[in-house]
């Protein structure tokens, strides 16, 4: 009784989609990073499945590279997060928008309402 | 029979964990659920006969990268995530489209590969990709890429150091 | 056979020296720079000698000896018409002559330069340029096809530019450099077109192939001028530029701004004669283009006379020599033009000797006078700098064509050809002879003004001293050569063989439409002695002597006669003094309009309004759109993420649609 | 029945796991006893003495105590994670042991390898995978109990483990290069398996060519198990008890057991990689080694008998005599010719492991604790470069030899 490859692919597709949703949905920088990792994992699954299906090693080799890149990304990204925190900035991506149109407006950490006020100004 | 059971168990675990990743407000919980996903995927890799990959998946991803995440979360004591909602775009366009993408990709991948089957778990383990072949592939055909990635990660390390250094 | 197989060594040595001096010269001590520069050139000369020795034993069947080293340019398919150029070098009699002349004179002048440039800044720079020049000149001479030759052609131009403007802090020097470069460039344009036309006509740029093609073609006649004539004329225009003939001679006098050894090497001995070499080299083409031949001859003759007239009244010692160079070059072209290529080359060689010597002695004089170049402020130097004086006197006798000296033989040969050669014409002969008279006049004027009479300078300020041996040794050697360098052609006078022409004969007769009589047909029915006597008391010689006497009368007998004459013929004097106002003419006719066009039209209209307008317009548009679009940049990462998601969806949709279509 | 025959591998594995679990649990319990005894003697004390003869029942007592203590959870803690952490720690450390081969794989019972639970090609990698997950137990425990000291302990442990895992792995790679495999059995049977002996009696253990790698491994392993001198996560004097400050009763016991299980795992790994695992150090030709296990046990029994007869009184004497009987009995069985070969593997393996465990306890009894920055700089600036250098040199030598052989 064998598992059709399509199952794996569908699973990876679902995971990837969930990763995208998480990427859009999450507010915390770290979790946003995590959602990226989730997407990468989904892609890896697809790679391995294809490699298995075609009996070729290239897919597996590529997984390595994906993992390495993910590691690098995590290292740098988390360092950035650390700096954000050290500068007393909130980890909420919606509050970190110094590059936004309208210049660096610091959103007070209070209620959403006054934050919106700050955004408008 | 067993492979199917294993597969569905892992798939279920993975998807559920991914959903909890999204829903959890506590970053640690998200991290844990992501680890779950990774472990589940590692098992699936075993099922697919990619032993080495699954080991690497656990060692590097779950054992190193995610530890880093947990470490940072603990260090910053990142509290409960506040569900601010400044981005109308994300609310009304991003999320729906994300879900749409999810369904679309899944559907397409199914359609593109429906019916093609591969060897089951037990067979896969016996017919597993030997680490030797994998490494020879990696160090012969993909040597340059390998070196390039090593350089990349070195640069990443340096970048992380520079960023995290106390700025004086 | 070693050197014949490794001819590139001859080119490699000087460029090596140039590279070493140019790159590290700044840090090297003077001695090292010297040894590098001199050593490289000396080795080059040795290599050339070895080459000549091997060439001597080469069977005639293997001449010209061509060796191709690597494929340089390829374009088009490998058909007959494909543009395929090798970096190939060639040796034949003509090359041998040129090689010997260039490398030997170059060597001497290098040695001379050590003494002359001793106290100058940028010492290493000077020598690296000089070596570079040697490299390019040798390339020009040895190239086996027009392309390689063109490389040398342009390279020597570059070096002359660099060396004329060597004292770049002097504006006049830099201007002179630019003038030389641009003026020659005008000629080079035509030259290039000529090359391309030649390729288009012959399907190759390699000499032998071209000449074979040319030999197949029907020669143009006086009545009907065809492609051959066009090629010949175009190439000759290039030669006009390079060899400072009418009307493009204007750069050469200014080129005297450069160091004197440079003037000697580049602007007297070697580079300026490149044009003559080219015409001689392309003789199969020229011989089939009578109109071009006539053009060459006429331009040469007129230049010879014209420049001589200007030289009459110049007071700057180097300027005089410059104009005399122009006129001598005119002689060479005259020789080539009337079909006596051998005579032209012969004169080229002898001229290299005595004109190089003249410049060097002039440099020695200037050196002795502490930088003074105006002859009217000299005089009476005879006793003070004897070596310079004697060598310069020898050179003068040579250039004036006094029998027994080198110049006599070559010039006589040219005039003979002009009188009785294949393309002879009385007028050209007359021009040549007149120029000969004038030459001897202004040269002796120079001598008398400089060395005789009482000093016209403050002896307390300027203490005149003989130059160091580094400078005098080359002078003596050149003096020796300009005395006996011409004797190879001596037997001709007695109706015998001209060994020089005999030696060069294969080059000029192998592709000639009708066998060229390079030895002037001796007057028949006379005993050799009579012939010799006839030659010795020939009209040129007489005129030369007259010129000598006139100069003596003017500048020794009664020194204020010149002024009176100047008063009498004031207009002519002024005209000559201002070199026929040619520079001013060019300035008014060409330079000013160009300037106006470029400032008023091109700059202030085209650039300012059209181009800038376009650029600024784009910028404005970009800014406006950016101002609109930047509203998107909310700074909210989630919005960005949403944009990414939207993009992804769109792309995926596209992809799926495409795949669906592809599958279907 | 059909199911069993169909999935004999599965069933056999389950049985083996159960047995192994039992053995390991006991071993853990008595490892604590062992440690306390040794440390006590190092500090010239008697150690546990009253509960049973030589305190042999002490572990039992401890276990009961843990069970009956009140299990309290801090109210501010994150319940789920708080409960999850100890389970994670223990289960992972136990799982690791399942990969260890305790004897030659070709010894079979009912067609199933007797001493090998799982003999997979990349056993070593899996071991590392599992141990690398072990960090979470500590880290999460530290975080979830939501109080200062545990948090600090958790942070320290995660940083420390990550740091030392790197050098641990790299120091092992040298051996892998020599063995050319990731499978434990092929590593064990590598050079010595082909009957390799120097001077006919010195076994070709990897430790000899890889001495530097071995030292690195040993150091990193101590740090990996959070033991003195690297026990900063649970430094009593600095952080009360580090990550398990808030834990009590059985959850605490789990952490406790996990630590000892890790010790065992690491020792097993050292044995396998560097000291030829379950292979006997003596050449095959020395037949008498077959009877060494039995002889040893009988000797132990005799000692116990003597001890019981001379020193013990009452209950203790009874216990000791039980031990005596057991020892003598098992020893006798081991002496039987058809049994003896089966015992060889486990015997030697256990013996070697015991040496390592003793070493651990010894270190604990001897060395003081590092300061945290010292720890980090030592790990990154000394250990890692040395192990890397070892790896490079090994690789170079191997390449050279294979080229010229």
Residue carrying structure tokens 């037990």? B122
Residue B7 lies in a domain: yes
- How far does B120 lie from chain D, in Å, by closest CA? 15
d(CA C485, CA C482): 5
Assess A23–C contact: CB distance below 8 Å, yes or no.
yes
Assess A27–C contact: CB distance below 8 Å, yes or no.
yes
- Within chain C, which residues score under 50 in pLDDT? 516-523
Assess C461–B contact: CB distance below 8 Å, yes or no.
no
Do B116 and B139 fall into the same domain?
no
Do B46 and B78 fall into the same domain?
yes
Note whether C240 and C275 are within 8 A (CB).
yes
Assess C638–A contact: CB distance below 8 Å, yes or no.
yes
- How far does A83 lie from chain B, in Å, by closest CA? 7
Note whether C13 and C47 are within 8 A (CB).
yes
Q: pLDDT digits over A20-78, tens only?
A: 888 888 888 888 889 999 999 999 998 888 888 777 788 888 898 999 899 898 888 88
What pLDDT, on the 0 to 100 scale, is given for residue A87? 77
Do B1 and B71 fall into the same domain?
yes
Assess D243–B contact: CB distance below 8 Å, yes or no.
no
Q: pLDDT digits over D136-162, tens only?
A: 888 888 888 878 888 888 888 888 888
d(CA C406, CA C482): 5
Token pair belonging to C22: 């140019």
d(CA D303, CA D322): 13
What are the Cα distances from residue C273, in Å, to B64, C140, C344, C408, D173? 79, 11, 10, 19, 77
Q: pLDDT digits over B88-139, tens only?
A: 777 777 778 878 878 877 777 777 665 555 544 433 434 566 778 888 888 8
- How far does D48 lie from chain B, in Å, by closest CA? 38
- Helix (H) / strand (E) element for D162: namely helix D148-179
What pLDDT, on the 0 to 100 scale, is given for residue C459? 74
Beta carbons within 10 angstroms of residue D32's beta carbon = 18
Handedness of CA C187, C189, C193, C196 (dihedral sign): positive
Give the burial string for C406-416 (b: 16+ CB within 10 Å, else e). Answer: bbbbbbbbbbb
What pLDDT, on the 0 to 100 scale, is given for residue C518? 46
List of chain B residues whose C-beta atoms are within 8 Å of the C-beta of residue C639:
87, 89-90, 94
What are the Cα distances from residue C277, in Å, to C236, C329, C499? 11, 11, 19
pLDDT in tens, chain D (405 residues): 566 667 777 788 888 888 888 988 888 888 888 888 898 989 888 888 887 777 888 888 888 888 888 878 888 778 888 888 888 888 988 888 888 888 887 777 777 777 777 777 788 888 888 888 888 888 888 888 878 888 888 888 888 888 888 899 899 998 888 888 888 888 888 766 666 777 777 787 888 888 899 999 999 998 888 887 887 766 666 676 677 777 877 888 888 888 888 889 999 999 988 888 888 888 777 778 888 888 888 898 898 888 888 887 777 888 888 888 888 988 888 888 888 888 888 888 888 999 999 998 888 888 888 888 888 888 889 999 999 999 999 999 988 888 776
What pLDDT, on the 0 to 100 scale, is given for residue C86? 87
With CA atoms as reference, the chain C residue closest to A26 would be C638
What pLDDT, on the 0 to 100 scale, is given for residue D236? 67
Do B109 and B54 fall into the same domain?
no
Q: What is the DSSP code (8-state) at residue C73?
A: E
Q: What is the DSSP code (8-state) at residue D187?
A: H
Residue B46 lies in a domain: yes
Do B72 and B93 fall into the same domain?
no
- The answer to whether C637 contacts A97, with C-beta atoms less than 8 Å apart, is yes
Q: Which range marks the domain in which residue B99 is found?
A: 85-120
Map B45-81 to HEC letters. HHHCCCHHHHHHHHHHHHHHHHHHHHHHHHHHCCCCC
Is C227 buried (19+), middle (13-18) or exposed (0-12) by CB count in 10 A? middle
d(CA D191, CA D200): 13
Residue B157 lies in a domain: yes
Do B76 and B109 fall into the same domain?
no
Do B76 and B101 fall into the same domain?
no
Do B89 and B156 fall into the same domain?
no
Residue B66 lies in a domain: yes
Do B116 and B62 fall into the same domain?
no
What is the set of domains in chain A, with CATH numbers? 5-96 (1.10.287.3510)
Do B97 and B162 fall into the same domain?
no
Note whether C437 and C547 are within 8 A (CB).
yes
Chains contacting C (3 or more CB pairs within 8 Å) = A, B
Evaluate if pTM is beyond 0.80.
Answer: no
Phi-psi region of C76 (alpha: psi -120 to 50; beta: other; left: phi over 0): left
The structural domain count of chain B equals 3
Token pair belonging to C177: 């450099």
What pLDDT, on the 0 to 100 scale, is given for residue B98? 79
What pLDDT, on the 0 to 100 scale, is given for residue B15? 92
What pLDDT, on the 0 to 100 scale, is given for residue D217? 92
Do B55 and B6 fall into the same domain?
yes
- How far does A111 lie from chain C, in Å, by closest CA? 17
Is C625 buried (19+), middle (13-18) or exposed (0-12) by CB count in 10 A? exposed
d(CA C268, CA C351): 8
Residue B36 lies in a domain: yes
Assess B108–C contact: CB distance below 8 Å, yes or no.
yes
Q: pLDDT digits over C54-110, tens only?
A: 998 888 888 888 888 888 888 776 665 677 888 999 998 999 999 999 999 999 999
Nearest by CB to residue D121, choosing from B32, B58, B128, is: B128
Residue B125 lies in a domain: no
d(CA D331, CA C389): 126
D abuts A (3+ Cβ pairs < 8 Å): no
ipTM of this complex prediction, to 2 decimal places = 0.71
d(CA C171, CA C177): 10
Assess B145–A contact: CB distance below 8 Å, yes or no.
yes
Chains contacting B (3 or more CB pairs within 8 Å) = A, C, D
Do B52 and B77 fall into the same domain?
yes
Residue B5 lies in a domain: yes
CATH number at residue B6: 1.20.120.1200
Assess D135–B contact: CB distance below 8 Å, yes or no.
yes
């Amino acid at each position: 009784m064998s598992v059709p490859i399509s199952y794996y692919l569908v699973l990876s597709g679902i995971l990837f989609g969930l990763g995208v949703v998480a990427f859009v949905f999450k507010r915390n920088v770290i979790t946003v990073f995590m959602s990226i990792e989730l997407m990468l994992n989904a892609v890896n699954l697809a790679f391995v499945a294809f490699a298995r299906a075609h009996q070729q090693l290239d897919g597996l080799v590529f997984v390595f590279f994906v993992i390495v890149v993910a590691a690098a990304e995590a290292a740098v990204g988390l360092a950035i997060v650390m700096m954000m925190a050290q500068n007393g900035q909130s980890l909420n991506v919606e509050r970190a928008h110094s590059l936004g149109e309208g210049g660096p407006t610091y959103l007070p950490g209070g209620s959403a309402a006054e934050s919106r006020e700050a955004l408008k100004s | 029979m067993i492979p199917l059971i294993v597969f569905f168990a892992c798939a279920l675990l993975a998807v559920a964990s991914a959903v909890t990743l999204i829903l959890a407000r506590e970053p640690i919980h998200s991290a844990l659920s992501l680890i779950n996903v990774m472990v589940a995927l590692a098992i699936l890799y075993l099922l697919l006969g990619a032993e080495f990959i699954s080991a690497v998946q656990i060692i590097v991803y779950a054992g190193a990268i995610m530890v880093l995440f947990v470490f940072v979360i603990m260090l910053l004591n990142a509290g409960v995530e506040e569900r601010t909602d400044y981005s109308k775009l994300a609310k009304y366009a991003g999320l729906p489209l994300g879900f749409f993408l999810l369904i679309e990709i899944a559907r397409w991948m199914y359609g593109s590969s429906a019916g093609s089957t591969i060897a089951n778990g037990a067979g896969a383990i016996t017919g597993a990709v030997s680490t030797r072949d994998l490494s020879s592939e990696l160090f012969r055909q993909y040597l340059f890429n390998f070196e390039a990635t090593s350089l990349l990660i070195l640069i990443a390390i340096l970048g992380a150091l520079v960023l995290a250094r106390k700025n004086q | 056979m070693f050197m014949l197989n490794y001819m590139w060594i001859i080119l490699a040595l000087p460029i090596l020296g140039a590279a070493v001096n140019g790159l590290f010269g700044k840090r090297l001590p003077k001695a090292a720079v010297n040894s590098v520069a001199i050593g490289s050139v000396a080795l080059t000369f040795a290599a050339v000698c070895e080459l000549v020795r091997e060439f001597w034993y080469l069977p005639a069947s293997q001449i010209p000896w061509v060796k191709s080293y690597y494929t340089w340019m390829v374009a088009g398919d490998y058909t007959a018409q494909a543009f395929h150029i090798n970096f190939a070098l060639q040796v034949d009699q003509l090359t041998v002559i040129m090689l010997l002349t260039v490398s030997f004179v170059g060597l001497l002048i290098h040695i001379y330069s050590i003494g002359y440039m001793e106290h100058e800044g940028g010492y290493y720079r000077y020598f690296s340029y000089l070596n570079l020049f040697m490299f390019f000149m040798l390339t020009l001479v040895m190239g086996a096809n027009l392309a390689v030759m063109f490389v040398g052609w342009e390279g020597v131009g570059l070096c002359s530019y660099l060396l004329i403007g060597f004292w770049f802090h002097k504006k006049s020097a830099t201007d002179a450099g630019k003038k030389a470069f641009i003026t020659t460039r005008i000629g080079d344009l035509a030259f290039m077109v000529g090359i391309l036309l030649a390729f288009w006509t012959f399907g190759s740029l390699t000499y032998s192939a071209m000449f074979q093609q040319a030999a197949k073609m029907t020669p143009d006649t006086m009545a009907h001028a065809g492609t051959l004539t066009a090629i010949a004329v175009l190439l000759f225009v290039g030669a006009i530029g390079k060899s400072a003939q009418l009307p493009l001679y204007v750069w050469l006098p200014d080129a005297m701004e450069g160091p004197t050894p440079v003037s000697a090497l580049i602007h007297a001995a070697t580079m300026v004669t490149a044009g003559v070499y080219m015409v001689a080299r392309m003789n199969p083409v020229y011989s089939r283009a009578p109109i071009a031949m006539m053009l060459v001859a006429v331009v040469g003759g007129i230049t010879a006379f014209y420049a001589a007239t200007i030289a009459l009244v110049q007071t700057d010692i180097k300027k005089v020599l410059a104009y005399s160079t122009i006129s001598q070059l005119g002689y060479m072209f005259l020789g080539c033009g009337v079909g006596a290529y051998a005579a032209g080359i012969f004169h080229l060689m002898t001229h290299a000797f005595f004109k190089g010597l003249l410049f060097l002695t002039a440099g020695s004089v200037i050196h002795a006078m502490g930088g003074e170049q105006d002859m009217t402020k000299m005089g009476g130097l005879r006793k003070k700098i004897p070596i310079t004086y004697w060598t310069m006197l020898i050179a003068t006798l040579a250039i004036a064509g006094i029998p027994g000296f080198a110049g006599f033989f070559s010039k006589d040969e040219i005039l003979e050809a002009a009188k009785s050669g294949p393309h002879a014409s009385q007028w050209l002969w007359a021009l040549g002879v007149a120029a000969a008279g004038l030459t001897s006049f202004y040269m002796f004027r120079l001598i008398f003004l400089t060395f005789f009479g009482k000093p016209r300078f403050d002896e307390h300020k300027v203490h005149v001293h003989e130059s160091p041996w580094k400078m005098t040794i080359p002078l003596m050697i050149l003096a020796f050569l300009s005395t006996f360098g011409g004797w190879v052609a001596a037997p001709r006078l007695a109706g015998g063989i001209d060994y020089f022409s005999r030696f060069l004969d294969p080059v000029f007769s192998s592709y000639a439409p009708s066998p060229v009589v390079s030895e002037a047909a001796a007057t028949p029915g006379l005993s050799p002695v009579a012939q010799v006597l006839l030659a010795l008391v020939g009209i040129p010689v007489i005129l030369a002597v007259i010129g000598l006497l006139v100069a003596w009368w003017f500048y020794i007998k009664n020194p204020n006669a010149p002024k009176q004459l100047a008063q009498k013929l004031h207009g002519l004097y002024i005209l000559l003094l201002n070199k026929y106002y040619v520079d001013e003419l060019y300035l008014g006719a060409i330079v000013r309009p160009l300037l106006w066009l470029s400032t008023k039209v091109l700059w202030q209209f085209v650039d300012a309004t059209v181009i800038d307008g376009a650029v600024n317009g784009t910028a404005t548009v970009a800014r406006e759109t950016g101002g609109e679009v930047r509203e998107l940049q909310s700074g909210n990462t989630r919005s960005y993420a949403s944009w990414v998601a939207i993009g992804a969806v769109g792309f995926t949709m596209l992809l799926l649609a495409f795949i669906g279509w592809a599958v279907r | 029945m059909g199911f069993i025959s169909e999935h004999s591998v599965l069933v056999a594995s389950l049985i083996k796991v159960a047995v192994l679990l039992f053995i390991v649990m006991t071993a853990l319990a008595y490892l604590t006893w062992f440690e306390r005894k040794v440390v006590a003697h190092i500090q010239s004390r008697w150690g546990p003495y009253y509960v049973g003869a030589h305190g042999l029942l002490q572990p039992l007592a401890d276990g009961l105590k843990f069970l009956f203590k009140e299990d309290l959870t801090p109210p501010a803690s994150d319940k789920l994670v708080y409960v999850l952490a100890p389970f994670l720690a223990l289960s992972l450390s136990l799982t690791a042991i399942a990969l260890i081969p305790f004897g030659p794989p070709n010894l079979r019972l009912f067609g199933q390898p007797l001493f090998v639970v799982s003999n997979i090609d990349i056993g070593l990698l899996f071991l590392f995978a599992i141990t690398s997950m072990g960090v979470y137990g500590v880290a999460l425990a530290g975080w979830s109990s939501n109080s200062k000291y545990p948090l600090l302990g958790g942070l320290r442990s995660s940083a420390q483990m990550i740091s030392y895992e790197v050098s641990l792995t790299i120091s092992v790679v040298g051996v892998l290069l020599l063995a050319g495999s990731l499978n434990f059995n092929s590593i064990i049977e590598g050079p010595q398996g082909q009957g390799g002996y120097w001077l006919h009696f010195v076994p070709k253990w990897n430790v000899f060519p890889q001495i530097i790698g071995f030292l690195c491994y040993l150091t990193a392993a101590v740090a990996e198990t959070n033991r003195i001198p690297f026990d900063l996560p649970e430094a009593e004097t600095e952080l009360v008890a580090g990550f398990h400050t808030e834990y009590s009763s059985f959850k605490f016991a789990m952490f406790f057991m996990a630590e000892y299980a890790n010790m065992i795992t690491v020792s097993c790994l050292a044995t396998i990689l560097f000291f030829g695992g379950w292979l006997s150090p003596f050449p095959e030709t020395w037949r008498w080694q077959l009877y060494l296990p039995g002889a040893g046990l009988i000797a132990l029994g005799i000692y116990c008998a003597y001890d019981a007869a001379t020193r013990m009184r009452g209950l203790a004497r009874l216990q000791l005599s039980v031990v005596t009987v057991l020892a003598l009995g098992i020893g006798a069985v081991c002496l039987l010719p058809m049994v003896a070969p089966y015992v060889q593997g486990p015997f030697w393996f256990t013996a070697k492991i015991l040496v390592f465990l003793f070493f651990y306890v010894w270190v604990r009894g001897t060395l003081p604790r590092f300061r945290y920055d010292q720890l980090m700089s030592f790990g990154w600036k000394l250990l890692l470069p040395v192990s890397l250098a070892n790896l490079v040199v090994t690789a170079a030598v191997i390449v050279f030899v294979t080229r010229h052989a």
